[in-house]
Amino acid sequence: MTEEKVIRKKIRATGLMAQYMKEYFLELDHCARTGEKKVAWCTSVGPAELLHSLGFVVHYPENHGAMLGTSRIAADLIPYANTLGFSPDICSYLTSDIGSYVTNNTPLTKAYGIEKIPKPDVLVFDTNQCRDVQDWMSWYARELKIPIMGIHAPKYPSEITEIHVESMAKQTEELVKPLEEISGNKFDIDKLREVIKLSRECTELWGKVLKTASASPSPITFFDGTIHMGPAVVLRGTPQAVDYYKVLLTELEERIANGEGALEEEKHRLYWEGMPIWGRLRAHSELFANLKACVLASTYCNSWIFSSFDEKDPFRSMAKAYAEIFIVRSEEYKEKYIKEMIDLYKIDGIIYHDAKTCPANSNCRYGMHLRLEKETGIPSLILNGDLNDMRLVSDEQTKTNIEAFIEQLEEN
């Protein structure tokens, strides 16, 4: 996409993350093949802590979806799901993941030598993020004839009330009995407390990692964040995730102490709102870096900060943490949140990604970008594209729009 040489600097801790991720996937594959532990598939902001406490190893189809996106094979797989009746307009994680399953084509093979997606014993969803996750899991439940269960979250609240927390806590507690039967393990509240404590530690450290971006220059970019959030997504609730974020945080704090930024030069500080464009992470990272624009923070990476986890009140705190995520909140809440981010990270401009197949996480469809521009004076740019379906991304258009936006920032 670009010939210039400015790049974002490598993070040393990446090797440790790769090792932990490899161990995680190999264990998952081993358990699916041998039955040593039961395998649960869970939505990315579903009740993973409960599953870990019952001895399941947990696979996250959305994480697999993101791997299909970064490996740029998603667009080839989506048509297979379309032939099964899934519209090209719905979630391209869903369509590429199902396409991957039916063609037995997974990036896990190249990355870890894993032949096929590790088969589940149970499917668990939380509708907090969108309806697609339930339909996605339901297809697998019918196809594989395995049990499915889930939690139905409140939609678009400004405030999370006692009623919301009670409802979600109750629904989570109701999963215990059927999950005990599938796992063959007795539920132990102390184990759940232990896992929630680890998830809380992970989340706190991940939050601190992301907040290092408030330094000038920022030691981390959004593009780094999309890769380094892996352990917060798939390993939260385990000691490895806590260990990893301690190492990463130390490295970023060192960068701050040395006045070292993630980019060689940071002239503009940008915020990314919406899904990443997985198949173009590298190209976009280089494009922005060459324009001396550091995309340094995002709502997306913040989505795995669950501040409410509290091992003293396991079910209710889990319910609150998963009810209050940004994606499901009212426009009013979202505007307030983004304004806080603009201040915290000293943002000069916002990039909204309007992802064609993910309306749930495209926040510029009801005028919010214009309202925020008016209130804050911070300009914004909408990029039309998609998370996984690269047929919906115009590289030329994206480049032209980003360059024009940076020019506008320079004039300002």
Contacting positions for ligand SF4 (CB under 6 A)? 62, 91, 93, 129-130, 132-133, 275, 358, 360-361, 387
Please identify, using beta-carbon distances, which residue of 65 and 219 lies nearer to ligand SF4.
Answer: 65
Please identify, using beta-carbon distances, which residue of 86 and 405 lies nearer to ligand SF4.
Answer: 86
Residue 79 C-beta: closest distance to ligand SF4, Å:
18
What is the enclosing helix (H) or strand (E) of 383?
Answer: strand 380-385
Residue 275 C-beta: closest distance to ligand SF4, Å:
6
In a 13 Å sphere around the CA of 193, the CA atoms on its Cβ side amount to 6
Residue 45 C-beta: closest distance to ligand SF4, Å:
9
Strands 293-298 and 148-151: unpaired
Please identify, using beta-carbon distances, which residue of 91 and 175 lies nearer to ligand SF4.
Answer: 91
Q: Where do the DSSP E strands lie in 226-300?
A: 268-273, 293-298
Residue 103 C-beta: closest distance to ligand SF4, Å:
20
Cα separation, 33 vs 322, whole angstroms: 31
Phi, psi of 14 (to 5 degrees): -55, -35
Cα separation, 369 vs 322, whole angstroms: 25
Residue 43 C-beta: closest distance to ligand SF4, Å:
7
Please identify, using beta-carbon distances, which residue of 232 and 406 lies nearer to ligand SF4.
Answer: 232
Cα separation, 412 vs 397, whole angstroms: 23
Residue 11 C-beta: closest distance to ligand SF4, Å:
25
Residue 136 C-beta: closest distance to ligand SF4, Å:
7
The burial of 157, by beta-carbon neighbours within 10 Å (0-12 exposed, 13-18 middle, 19 or more buried), is given as middle
Please identify, using beta-carbon distances, which residue of 133 and 192 lies nearer to ligand SF4.
Answer: 133
Please identify, using beta-carbon distances, which residue of 285 and 303 lies nearer to ligand SF4.
Answer: 303
CB 221 within 8 A of CB 319: no
Residue indicated by tokens 């290092």: 212
Return the DSSP state at 362.
-
Please identify, using beta-carbon distances, which residue of 149 and 344 lies nearer to ligand SF4.
Answer: 149
Cα separation, 269 vs 318, whole angstroms: 34
